[in-house]
Amino acid sequence: MTVEDLEREKEIYRAQAAATGKPAPVIEKIVDGKMAKFYEEVCLLDQPFIKDQAISVKELIAQKVGKLGENITVRRFCAVQGGRDGLDCGADQAGGNSRGVSV
C-alpha cells in the first residue's frame, strides 16, 4: 500500500465526514477512527488471527517471540477469500498488499 493510497482513503473519509456538517476537530477524529478500521482490514499484522479472533497477528507474533526467544519475521503469506476456490499465493502478495492470512 502506497502513501498515495492512504492519502486517497483519508480524503474519501474526510469528504464523507464533512458532508455531515460536523466541526473540523470532530471530522478529524472520525477520519482517524475510519483509518484505524481500514488498517485493520488491509494490513496483515493488524488483522485478527484466524484461529483466535481476540488477538491480532502482531500480538500473536509478539507472544511467540517471547516464548521462543527468537525474532520472527513474516516473509510471505497466502490470501484466502471466502467464496473462492483455492488460494492466492502469488509473488505480488509477498509485499503485504493482499488480505487474509494462511495458517
Task: Give the 3-state secondary structure of residue 38.
Answer: helix
Place of cell 476456490: 85
**19 alpha-carbon distance from chain centroid:** 26
> How much is the pTM?
0.58
**pLDDT for 95:** 45
88-103: pLDDT as tens digits:
555 444 444 444 444 4
